[in-house]
Amino acid sequence: MFDLVTVGHFAIDLILSSRIAEPKPTLGGPPTYVSLAAKRLNAEVSVVSKVGEDFPDEYVAWLEGNGVDLSGLKRVKGALSTRYVLKYRDEKRRLQLKSRAPPICPSDVQDSLKARAIHVAPIADEISTDVVNKLRASTPILSLDPQGFVRSTDEEGNVRLKRWDKPEVFQQIDVYKSSLNEIRMATGIKNAELAMRKIHDRGARIVIVTRGVEGSLLLFDGEFCRVPACKSRVVKDPTGAGDAFTGAFLAEYVRRKDPEWCACVGSAAASFVVEGIGPAVFGGKEETYGRATEIYERDLRS
């Protein structure tokens, strides 16, 4: 029984930013950031993912060395891993998809898989409705970040947002998390609170919209809560911050913690990730709780 299983592609990212002097490929994708953020909080974590023959052995060794179970990872002969170029400029990000690993199929999900929470996190439309259906039977808490569903690519791999709406998926979700632009694509509604209400009305018990330095907006039990962003010592790279938020949130939520507290812990986890480049910096459990406690007591409990 795992605490948290993340389903989606690992990625090999090339991050281009004025803050990075010598860009080089780095390990990425939700299975990386979600798993490591949760593992730092003592959660037992695993993945369901596919990579190509180009996926470095050192990435596998590093993940296993950091406590991530990779029994659900498949390396496909003759295939490439999912690769993205991420270009940051003036706080905006542009994505270019360079290659895509094979899709994740229902047969890739072991029949014996059991987890307290499973997070569905596509980055290149690699997960089908059939996979979501099978995952639903493996956990009491099914979480979704639709980022890969709301992306389209042109012939050069340039990524743009597209409208995506599948009620049959939303109806199975217990926890929903996305950025503001992504929930707009998933609902067709510009207003954040109205868009969140629509997701909630479809069945999600908890709906979260992350807003970078503005923190996050949380909807549960019919009420909204604004959670501030934790302050980072320095900001080097925002890649993976949203996924780290999710990993930490779910690690606490499966322990039946207050959703407001879970969101504060998510904010704290994200604040550490941006202090490094790629998945280089994650706060320890006590460090993360320390930052979370500050905003929980100062901004929420007051």
Query: pLDDT truncated to tens, each residue of the chain (302 aa)?
Result: 899 999 999 999 999 999 898 999 999 999 999 999 999 999 999 999 999 999 999 999 999 999 999 999 999 999 999 999 999 987 789 999 999 999 999 999 999 999 999 999 999 999 999 999 999 999 999 999 999 999 999 999 999 999 999 999 999 999 999 999 999 999 999 999 999 999 999 999 999 999 988 999 999 999 999 999 999 999 999 999 999 999 999 999 999 999 999 999 999 999 999 999 999 999 999 999 999 999 999 876 65
What does the DSSP assignment read for 246-288?
A: HHHHHHHHTTT--HHHHHHHHHHHHHHHTTSSSTT----HHHH
Q: Evaluate whether 11 touches 237 at the Cβ level (below 8 Å).
A: no
In CATH, what number does 2-203+240-254 get?
Answer: 3.40.1190.20
Q: Are 150 and 162 in contact (CB under 8 A)?
A: yes
pLDDT at residue 299, as a whole number: 74
pLDDT attached to residue 301: 64
CA 76/CA 51 separation, integer angstroms? 6
pLDDT at 154: 96
**What pLDDT score does 91 carry?**
75
What pLDDT score does 298 carry?
83
- The model carries a pTM of 0.96
Closest CA to 251 of 241, 237, 242, 263: 263
What's the pLDDT at 90? 79
What's the pLDDT at 171? Answer: 94
> Residue 125, CB half-sphere, CA atoms under 13 Å: how many?
13
Report the Cα–Cα distance between both ends of the chain, in Å, rounded. Answer: 38
State the pLDDT at residue 201: 95
Q: Where are the domains of the chain?
A: 2-203+240-254
